Structure 1
């Protein structure tokens, strides 16, 4: 990790972790959505008072992570096993960035009319774009978790901090996969999309924790 500006990248990742944690915005706004039956991305829907804040947080997260990836490229050239982690981080950052630029028109969990329009396929291109960008971000987070575990395993796991990061990364991959399978099943079979709100919030919290601890964990393992 000596070939890159470690402190700068660590701080960028930490800032991205805080900004991505939209649970903080949800709490600050007084939980405007039903926690059990909504997606956090609905905070960015255009009919919500939190829309501007939620989209700005996602936009900033994406930009910060992409800058971190660019700064971390020399480390990937020195250690090839880091290439997959950087690429997946870039995918997650791009998905999150474009997610902020393609918000939903309305929050289905907060509006019966919005749910009806969605069920009848009347929500248009914006929803399709949002689903695509959310899928890219989700797949990127899964890949980040997998590659982080692989890098730490190849480095011999490191100390306690590195092992904690490995546990968080594995939990991110597992919960994001579970979330993707659950929502994907509803879409493919044509059922109403029931938002697994608690699962998504747990998964987002794990992603935030992984982003905030990833660099210290990698440094501890790779410097042994």
Structure 2
């Protein structure tokens, strides 16, 4: 059985991954419409350590949850692929927090020029790779666990809500391409995608909590066994007893008929 702390850690991971909502309180000057969420963690932004810590904690807790689930459930097929993808989501989230950007290119013209000229650090350049891997791993886990839950009918909470999250993620992913061409609303689309991943972590937490509430079948105790540890003897029912010698049973109507003796 999955440990009791797993669902709680998954819920906390969903909360910490949504730390970007604090932007409106801590860093309202950053453009939420066109600026990326990752720009909140840029080294020149206020409270960047807080936003980086949110990604780091979320990734670490997700890894712990996946390890606990794999040790208890040992899934296969799509289920295994989904949990492994969620594990990679945690790994790339930690990498995303460690390889922070130098500045916010969508909100700072000077930063954008530095980025185009290649005068930024390796962490700034590599951050785009980790960000793509985080979102990709989250979507893959969503797709794989959705298929597994509907095939095996094991996780009803995931089967009920994951398809809706999958539709939203697909729509936002498709909408990203034309918005990148026009250069508008990219921040809004990314925030929707990140929010759906946070909700996905909440769905996983709800499923793990629901599994804990299922009462296991109680094992037989010493009271249920007779002295000496032998299994209790059950009396054969009346219908299963051996018929009287010299008679035979007619299976059609259950009547007894005396047979001739030789």
How high is the TM-score relative to the length of structure 2? 0.71
Q: Could you tell me how far 1:83 is from its partner in structure 2?
A: 0.7
Are 1:67 and 2:64 matched, yes or no? yes
Q: Could you tell me how far 1:31 is from its partner in structure 2?
A: 2.3
Pick which of 94-103 and 145-154 moved more: 145-154
CA contact (8 A) 1:152 1:166 kept: no
Q: 2:173 aligns with which of 177, 186, 189?
A: 177
SS at match of 1:36: coil
Q: 1:198 aligns with which of 188, 207, 220?
A: 188
Residue segments in structure 2 that go unaligned for 5+ positions in a row: 215-262
Provide, for residues 29-79 of structure 1, a one-character-per-residue CA deviation record: whole Å limited to 9, x for no partner. Answer: 152311111001100000000211011111111111111111111345255
In 1, Cα distance between equivalents of 2:43 and 2:201 = 27
**Equivalences, count:** 212
Higher relative contact order (CA 8 A, sep 6+): 1
Q: 1:29 aligns with which of 17, 26, 30?
A: 26
Calculate the aligned-residue CA RMSD, in Å: 2.7
Provide, for residues 174-208 of structure 1, a one-character-per-residue CA deviation record: whole Å limited to 9, x for no partner. Answer: 1563377568x76xxxxx97670111111111111
- Residue 208 of structure 1: aligned partner: 198
In 2, Cα distance between equivalents of 1:86 and 1:67 = 12
Residue segments in structure 1 that go unaligned for 5+ positions in a row: 187-191
Are 1:126 and 2:116 matched, yes or no? no
- Residue 189 of structure 1: aligned partner: none
CA contact (8 A) 1:20 1:61 kept: yes
Alpha-carbon spacing, 1:215–1:169, altered in 2? closer, same or farther (3 Å): farther
- Residue 4 of structure 1: aligned partner: 2
Provide, for residues 69-111 of structure 1, a one-character-per-residue CA deviation record: whole Å limited to 9, x for no partner. Answer: 1111134525544211111001111111011001011111221
Q: 1:141 aligns with which of 119, 135, 138?
A: 138
